[in-house]
Structure 1
Amino acid sequence: MMIRTRLGEAAAAARFLSGLRPFLGRRVDPDTARERLRASMARREQAFALLLRRGVFEREHGPWRALFAWAGIDFDDVRKLLAAHGLEGTLERLHDAGVFLSLEEFKGLRPIERPGFSLPVSAEDFDNPLSARQYEARTGGSSGASRRVMAGLDLLEHECAYHALFYAAHGAADRPLGLWLPAPPGAVGIKNALMRSKLGQRVDAWFSQSRVDDAPFRHRLFADATFRVAGLAGAALPRPSYVPASEAGRIAAWLAEWCARGRAPVFLSTPSAAVRTCAAAEASGLDVAGTLFVLVGEPFTAGKKRAIEAAGCEAATHYAMVEAGMIGLACRNGAAPDDVHLVRDKIATIQKPRTAPGGQSLPALLHTTLLTSTPKLMFNVESGDYGVVEERDCGCGVLPAEFGRHLHTIRSYEKLTSEGMHFMGPDLLTLLEQTLPGRFGGYPTDYQLVEAEREGLPVVRLLVSPSVGDVDDREVVETTLSFLRSRGIGPTLMAEVWENGSTLEVVRAQPHVTGAGKIQPLQREV
């Protein structure tokens, strides 16, 4: 099985590399991008029906086919729903019939469970059989272990249209460009570097929170081949240079050098990394004013926005999942710091009430993919996030008028999101209920994680009940970081960033108790 998987990955990588030069050679201009998105928006219902027919109902097996069969829904039923209720109305009714997935089901962390129906699944069971899977990316470890996602250049081709319009609206197409994002197998850095190159924008520097040499050999080999082929296509990509969170001053110096030349750069990073950079610039007396930070990976709050703007910089944030690609493009006239235009031509989003761990009912976001190029088949899949969805004519002009549905104030309800990494449900419980009590004593209810923010920077507080007795805070931190490092690539990177950024701190206090008398493993003050 492992040999077959590796051979499949090698074949996919070969397809990717052979298609890379033509991909980079087809430039995307704003006018072409705008027409592409309008046409895509006009056929979204047909695209959904095609994906459902070819990806689910024309195949004998698969979890989606089984779930639709359990719900008693066939393709003709879906077509009738589309005709009567439109796409979002159809998805609402499919959800009410039981056709949806929780985030844990989608990640393969637990079986799909419905009355009289139980189906064990893996994350790979939801791979899109219609996509041209050409390269392997890795999720940020939201399920504990980082997970493989196979994607293709067709998806990047489509998403370049969003980015072409974004940079044109900001007048930023010709500005210097830098990244502070993880090297492969992390997905976001390499995707953005390739898309910027396809748009004809030079990538001047790539800084990485992860060490390139720490990646598995096959990922290093693939990355090296990608850089070489891109160079042959006239898109010389910089090799990632390791810069930990504790050395944000190096990033500030790079930005300040460009600003001193009168060319304020565009810089892609997480919100936390942007705040650290602005703080380092202030501490060193460096002028980075005018920098446009383009942010991904974690909530962009009012506190982070203030910290960035205090340095004279501008920030815009997109919303995405590795499994689906872009979900929302930053709005220039947002109702909140993280306001995005939902890219409804490729992802349909509905909301349903979800009871959060603390007992609060929240408007959970569920996403459905519409294009054959997305790496996963998703029909009403929870993202673990909630937010405010509204129709609004913002007048920002980034996307065509058809993209008037906005999403903002996006927060997670069942995963800890910090420094661009995610740490979710099952592993939180293992750490707090088994690992820490087993090492330091006490009960599962004596430990709790609290996600907070201080001057725009993320803080993760580990509450340890005084009843546990004397403990060495440094040992508690090291035990927690060691646990993360044992869970895979994504959590290992999270541990490294937390350690370098002094993100994790131990507080001797009783865990918070909800109004219902419950002690939840994760609380938020953000």
Structure 2
Amino acid sequence: MLDDLAAGARLLWRLPAFLRNPVRAHGVRAILQMRLQRREANFLGLAARAIYAVPTNPYRHLLAHIGCAPNDLAALVGREGVEGALRALYRQGVYLTVDEFKGRRPVVRGNLTMTVTPGLLRNPQASVHIPVHSGGSRSPQIAAGIDLEDIRAEAADLRLFLAARGGEAWVHSFWSVPGGAAMRWILRISAAGGVPARWFSQVDPAAPGLHPRYRWSARVMRWGSLLAGTPLPAARHVSPDAPGPIVAWMADTRRRSAVPHLLTYPSAAVRVCRAALDAGVDLSGAQFTVSGEPMTAGRLQEITRAGAAVRPVFAAMECGQIGYGCLNPEVSDDLHLATDLHAVIQAGADGSAAGLPAEALLVTALRPTAPFILLNVSLGDQAALVKRSCGCPLEQVGWGTHLHTVRSYEKVTAGGMTFLDAEITRVLEEVLPARFGGGPTDYQLVEEEAADGSPHLRLLVHPAVGALDEHGVADVFLSALGAGPGAAGVMARLWRDAGVLRVERRPPRLSASGKILHRQRVRTAGP
């Protein structure tokens, strides 16, 4: 609590100057070019200050285990470049899987064994102005924190992205859940020179059970913006199943000859567009930026059917913005990798030894303000990683590497909310059988995306379990996932309010190899 109060005081002190001095349009291209030119120096500098100079840093132990001193690392980068050096380090065991990163599994490399926690990987140079916590029912919560200087670092890239889309004068709004992710977007847009007009919250910020942090941090941000003379919007509750107020706001903005821009989740954008179509509201020219779940072809089709345009972004709480949507895409989630701030490699054929799929992404932070020091860390995502010439403005500024078909291999994502695979497994195999009977193969979660892009989760319960209250099963499942007032509780509340989950009495599905997996993904022809 004292840490939260100190962070609130720092935010109130620093925010007015931050809001009065956005990143200038004429300087952002030069900022990006300088970062790209200094990638090797930035990587080595961060390694020197935050890894080699910190005795408790786990990467220091991994590097020492393979005999890689600072001068060895510098020589390796000089020969191979940043990505080449990272691949060489990965092959020698310098990496962390998501389970290792979150402390759920010890790191074992030969005769080296250690336990890592995210706290050991916090950037010692980063400040915390807004505390952000993520975590679930099995893992300890991760305190990340938002540093205003890190927001500014990302804002330069965001301003380039918006300018490439013709979005310098768009009217911005947000629709997500309470917490750090929404506040980070609001501040990022502000630092990029935009003016946030509306903040819609999918969960009522005044709902009982939410941590007080969600309320006071938003209030402090609002107070600080008033002191700066650049007022930021207060959150207004708009539930996922009733997006009418957002449709009305977008229509009103268009009537004023302005372009409405909504930042939200892909499935939430689909809800807005379907509501607009049902109400006969024309959204031609409206803009969406989406993140938090896969931007699939079905979702893209539903959004564009309403006349709106959409671009995805790819981000993670642990490292911020990783990629920005290509303006000449080959697939629905074609992204440009922000190589000025990150280096990304893939596990490749060697990944199986570490329990990683070949396309698993290993992320390394390159900026000194990153919340965590990441060196070849898997955050549970996989994607195609390619270099191609697309001819869009984002390639012209220097982002030549593309990501697409970004999917989680260790998480369940629906409605913009994510739970780790291990958390789902624990509830299916331990909590539900203990409460309702049956065994670990009697419960299965089926993830579906309807043809219209809307997400659905079906919790299959084998009929052999016997009579039970289906609503009770759903409540226990969501309560177990969302135990506590933190981020997991917000996510579970959203799934409940949005009606994403339904229980069905049928045997769990068999995989192609005859296995009963605790969760499966399918695509259906309808909702």
Cα offsets for 1:246-280 (capped at 9, x unmatched): 22222222222222333230111000110111111
Please give the secondary structure, in 1, of the residue aligned with 2:345: strand
CA distance, structure 2, for counterparts of residue 490 and residue 9 of structure 1? 16
Q: Is the 8 A contact 2:137 2:480 kept in 1?
A: no
Residue among 59, 79, 85 paired with 2:80: 85
**2:491 pairs with 1:494:** yes
Q: 1:403 and 1:458 mapped to 2: Cα distance?
A: 31
SS in 2 for 1:204: strand
Q: CA deviation at 1:77?
A: 1.8
Q: Deviations over 1:154-185 (max 9, x none)?
A: 111111111111221222221222110222xx
Q: By how many angstroms is 1:516 displaced?
A: 4.1
Aligned to 1:421, which of 417, 431, 434?
A: 417
Contact 1:338 1:409 in 2 (8 A): yes
The verdict on how the C-alpha distance between 1:132 and 1:255 changes in structure 2, with shifts beyond 3 A counting, is same
- Percent identical: 37
Find the aligned partners of 2:289 and 2:262 in 1 and give their Cα distance. Answer: 6
**2:390 matched to which residue of 1?**
394
CA contact (8 A) 1:207 1:243 kept: yes
2:196 maps to which residue?
Answer: 203
Matched with 1:60 is 55
> Which residue of the partner structure matches residue 226 of structure 1?
221
Shift of 1:355: 5.0
Change (3 A) 1:517 1:507: same
Q: Report the CA distance between 1:437 and its aligned residue.
A: 1.1
* Deviation of the 1:30 alpha carbon: 3.0
Task: Spell out the pairing of 1:293-442 with structure 2 (5 A cutoff).
Answer: 293-353=288-348, 354=351, 361-398=357-394, 400-442=396-438
Question: Which range is displaced more, 227-236 or 63-72?
Answer: 63-72
Compute the displacement of 1:345 (Å): 1.2
Instruction: Give the superposition deviation at 1:415.
Output: 0.7
* Cα distance in 1, alignment partners of residues 463 and 430 from structure 2: 18
Contact 1:143–1:425 (CA under 8 A) maintained in structure 2: no
- Amino acid across the alignment from 1:299: P
Counterpart of 1:244?
239
CA deviation map 1:130-170 (0-9, x unaligned): 22333212337597665321231111111111111122122
CA distance in 1, matches of 2:117, 2:92: 23
Determine helix, strand or coil for the equivalent of 2:427. helix
Distance 1:40 1:141, change over 3 A: farther
Q: Does 1:476 align with 2:455?
A: no
Judge conservation of contact 2:102–2:139 (CA < 8 Å) in 1. no
State the Cα distance separating 1:9 from its structure 2 match. 4.1
Correspondence for 1:181: 176
Aligned AA (1:32): G
Q: How far did 1:330 drift?
A: 1.5
Deviations 1:30-73 (A, max 9, x none): 33111100100100011000111111112222222222222332
**Residue pairs, 1:49-198, within 5 angstroms:** 49-139=44-134, 141=136, 146-183=141-178, 186-198=179-191
Taking the aligned partners of 1:399 and 1:492, their CA distance within structure 2 comes to 40
Q: CA deviation at 1:524?
A: 1.4
**Residue 3 (structure 1) aligns with:** none
Structure 1 equivalent of residue 482 of structure 2: 485
2:15 paired residue number? 20
Instruction: Provide the alpha-carbon RMSD of the alignment.
Output: 2.2
Q: Distance in 1 between matches of 2:312 and 2:45?
A: 31
Alignment CA distance shift 1:142-1:345 (3 Å)? farther
Q: Does structure 2 conserve the Cα–Cα contact (< 8 Å) formed by 1:356 and 1:414?
A: no
Residue 449 of structure 2 corresponds to which residue in structure 1?
453
Aligned-partner SS, 1:213: coil
Is the 2:11–2:220 contact (alpha carbons within 8 Å) kept by the matching residues of 1?
Answer: no
In the alignment of these two chains, the number of paired residues is: 518
Counterparts in 2 of 1:40 and 1:82: CA distance versus 1, 3 Å: same
Q: Does the 8 A contact of 2:259 with 2:285 survive in 1? A: yes
- Would you say the 8 A contact 1:34–1:400 is kept in 2? no
Whether the 8 Å contact between 1:139 and 1:146 is mirrored in structure 2 is yes
Question: How far did 1:356 drift?
Answer: 12
2:311 is paired with a residue of what secondary structure?
Answer: strand
TM-score w.r.t. length of structure 2: 0.93
Question: Is the 8 Å Cα contact of residues 142 and 422 (structure 1) preserved in structure 2?
Answer: no
Of 497, 511, 520 in structure 1, the residue corresponding to residue 517 of structure 2 is 520
- Taking the aligned partners of 1:122 and 1:210, their CA distance within structure 2 comes to 30
What residue identity is the alignment partner of 1:405?
Answer: T
